[in-house]
Structure 1
Amino acid sequence: MGEISALTWGVTVALVVLLLAVDLVLAAIRPHRVGFGEATAWSVFYIAVAVLFGVWFAMSYGGDLGTEYFTGYIVEKSLSVDNLFVFVIIMSTFAVPEEHQHKVLTFGIVLALIMRVIFILIGAALLSLFSFVFLLFGLLLIYTAVQLFRHRDEDPDVEDNLLVKGARRVLPISDDYIGGKLFAREQGRRVATPLFVVLVAIGGIDLLFALDSIPAVFGVTSEPFIVFAANAFALLGLRALFFLVKGLLDRLVYLSSGLALILAFIGVKLVLHWLHVDIDPRVPEIPTMLSLAVIVGVLVIVTVASLIKTRGHPEIKAHSGSLRAHPHHERRD
């Protein structure tokens, strides 16, 4: 075990950029409806890449850091499923044609990764300077968990997003997608297409998810490399996962409750860590292996309970959960 080498950083970043580039090129040169078989193949590929990377990382840097990576990856993967809910809502709200959904998702993933890298750098710098940031992160996650649980049967109001409102106010928006372009000329004037507004909406949502997911994974590990790798590999598989499970998402009726429990658990873990380091070393800490067991256990229970519930009551639909109430919120059919 030891410090993460510059070579490891460089190779990992290059791998992530290469995989993103492949996604972008495929989305750009061959817009098409992604079928179940293709989505399954890509999902298996990305999970295999993440697992093989984790095995290599554990062998190179030790089992403890390897466990932290896999725990962080599972946390980020579970949060990314909630992210998919919101992507589905955005796609349906703006009626994105199926052949352009691949492109939208890839851009959304790139935006999410850029924002998370920024937050990782800020978070790592703060944690190295001030140990009470663990307390702040813990309280933020507990607050988020409470809000998510309170509004677990709601969806975010995409049209109410400040960035979307601003884009609509500032830019002329066309009615049509105009071949999947972001900007086009219509009746002699330059206009933004609905695809641009969709990307703005996804960017705003990505920002909110980064604010939750980065403190959550810092609750598992304080190693910035693991935080980056767990986020990157979880996000890389998001596009394929979207097409694979979008029919299943409506059935995960207890997912938002399960995620609220996971965020609250990690929040408590961070608060205990702060108490242990800054207040009294006799305060117990939650070990990473226990964290991994709790997180996997919650996800398994939530998934099984959701599928049982919707089998008996197929009319019940899942919701992503919201961090605030919407007075004029309409439930999805």
Structure 2
Amino acid sequence: MTMWVLTIVGLCALIGADFFIGRKPHDVSIKEAGVWTVVWIVLAALFGLGLLIFGGGQPAGEFFAGFITEKSLSVDNLFVFVIIMAKFAVPSQYQQRVLLVGVLIALVLRAIFIAAGAAIITSFSWVFYIFGAFLIYTAWKLIQEARANDEDEEWEENKLLKAAEKRFGVADRYHGTKLWIQQNGKKVMTPMLVVMLAIGTTDVLFALDSIPAIFGLTQDPYIVFTANAFALMGLRQLYFLIGGLLRKLVHLSYGLSVILGFIGVKLVLHALHESGVHVPEISIPFSLGVICAVLVVTTITSLIASKKQEKAAAAEPPKTDSAETDAGKGDTVKVESGKAESTKDDIEA
């Protein structure tokens, strides 16, 4: 309990410092985002090193495997965050505040999920079969979505958000960083609060696969929570750092599907082992190696594929009007839309 209290107090202090430093609304530069991304990664590494010193190699390895997995899965969240920001037309100077509060909401909701998951695992060991099967199904579904390559993806508000908007009402414009205002004698939410709730509650959908995934790497609730906390708290800076790079990670979904499928198989093997069936179990060092290798290969192949697409697009000749093209071939051309004839001089005029 002492360790839990100290950890939560420490995280609250870090979050408070982050909020205090970036409390003034502003456009986040690449430099600022890069510095804070490195800071959060270093803090996570130091925490893992502390686990190694005081707890040994097993918990440290589980933490790093869980942190890298949650971090990679959280990158996929950023695609949806971009869509939400665009849908609500969030001014650029307010986006960092929206993400900070939205991520805090997500962290609280994930803590509830983690507590529930830990309680279920403790009482029912067979739940590993369900978690494993669900991750394998999610991996397959992710591959299908990646192959569909839906560029016109739309984000829809969840029922909780719709109910809140209907109950309290929403102002017609942003009022700085205010969350509530008086409008026509009634207290209503501002779009700022709505988009914060959208970011936080939408993350619950991602937790449905990320929480079982990390429980496949460790059954220690403390490590599950801290790995999620460090992965989420650096998500805001990562949003601004790689926002323009997201579209280039064309193979990310394939990589994440491989990771989820791999952890799903690991969970099933663990469940069989717990049931008394003699099957090989996948070790944490091997899991960590597979996860890192998949992410490295996915990133490299994504950047290569994106570069080829850019070159192909640049090599395509610009489209010209058919009438203008035909006009260079003779004095008389046919305009297909009206089936009428015009002279070359008329078209040039």
TM-score of the pair, normalised by structure 1: 0.88
Aligned to 1:302: 298
Segments of 5+ residues of structure 1 without an aligned counterpart are 1-5, 317-333
TM-score of the pair, normalised by structure 2: 0.84
Aligned to 1:325: none
1:222 deviates by 0.9
- Answer whether contact 2:105 2:201 (CA < 8 A) is retained: no
* More divergent stretch after superposition (219-228 vs 7-16): 7-16
Taking the aligned partners of 2:110 and 2:157, their CA distance within structure 1 comes to 23
* More divergent stretch after superposition (296-305 vs 173-182): 173-182
Taking the aligned partners of 2:311 and 2:269, their CA distance within structure 1 comes to 42
Taking the aligned partners of 1:158 and 1:39, their CA distance within structure 2 comes to 26
- Answer whether contact 1:19 1:236 (CA < 8 A) is retained: no
2:225 maps to 1:228: yes
- How many residues are aligned here? 309
Q: 2:201 aligns with which of 200, 204, 210?
A: 204
Letter in 1 for 2:274: V
1:79 deviates by 0.8
- Answer whether contact 1:39 1:240 (CA < 8 A) is retained: yes
Taking the aligned partners of 2:128 and 2:264, their CA distance within structure 1 comes to 9
* More divergent stretch after superposition (117-126 vs 173-182): 173-182
2:274 maps to 1:277: yes
- Answer whether contact 2:168 2:187 (CA < 8 A) is retained: no
- Answer whether contact 2:251 2:298 (CA < 8 A) is retained: yes
2:19 maps to 1:24: yes
Q: 1:10 aligns with which of 5, 12, 19?
A: 5
- Answer whether contact 1:32 1:99 (CA < 8 A) is retained: yes
Taking the aligned partners of 1:114 and 1:216, their CA distance within structure 2 comes to 18
1:136 deviates by 1.2
Aligned to 2:324: none
Q: 1:39 aligns with which of 7, 28, 33?
A: 33
SS at 2:202 equivalent: helix
2:109 maps to 1:115: yes
SS at 2:156 equivalent: helix
Taking the aligned partners of 1:90 and 1:117, their CA distance within structure 2 comes to 23
2:258 maps to 1:261: yes
Q: 1:52 aligns with which of 23, 29, 46?
A: 46
1:35 deviates by 0.6
Q: Once the two structures are superposed, what CA deviation does each residue of 1:79-127 show, in whole Å capped at 9, x if it has no partner?
A: 1111112111111111101111111111111111111111111111111
Q: Structure 1 residues 78, 85: CA separation in 2 closer, same or farther (over 3 Å shift)?
A: same
1:265 deviates by 0.8
Taking the aligned partners of 2:76 and 2:234, their CA distance within structure 1 comes to 14
Q: 2:120 aligns with which of 117, 123, 126?
A: 126
1:183 deviates by 1.8
* More divergent stretch after superposition (94-103 vs 158-167): 158-167
SS at 1:222 equivalent: coil
Taking the aligned partners of 1:287 and 1:253, their CA distance within structure 2 comes to 30
1:162 deviates by 2.6
Aligned to 1:287: 283
- Answer whether contact 2:174 2:191 (CA < 8 A) is retained: yes
Q: Structure 1 residues 212, 309: CA separation in 2 closer, same or farther (over 3 Å shift)?
A: same
Letter in 2 for 1:203: G
Query: Could you say which structure has the larger radius of gyration?
Result: 2
Letter in 2 for 1:116: R
- Answer whether contact 2:157 2:198 (CA < 8 A) is retained: no
- Answer whether contact 1:86 1:156 (CA < 8 A) is retained: no
1:196 deviates by 2.2
Taking the aligned partners of 2:305 and 2:123, their CA distance within structure 1 comes to 47
Letter in 2 for 1:131: S
Taking the aligned partners of 2:299 and 2:282, their CA distance within structure 1 comes to 24
SS at 1:179 equivalent: coil
Higher relative contact order (CA 8 A, sep 6+): 1
Taking the aligned partners of 1:167 and 1:11, their CA distance within structure 2 comes to 35
Letter in 2 for 1:174: A
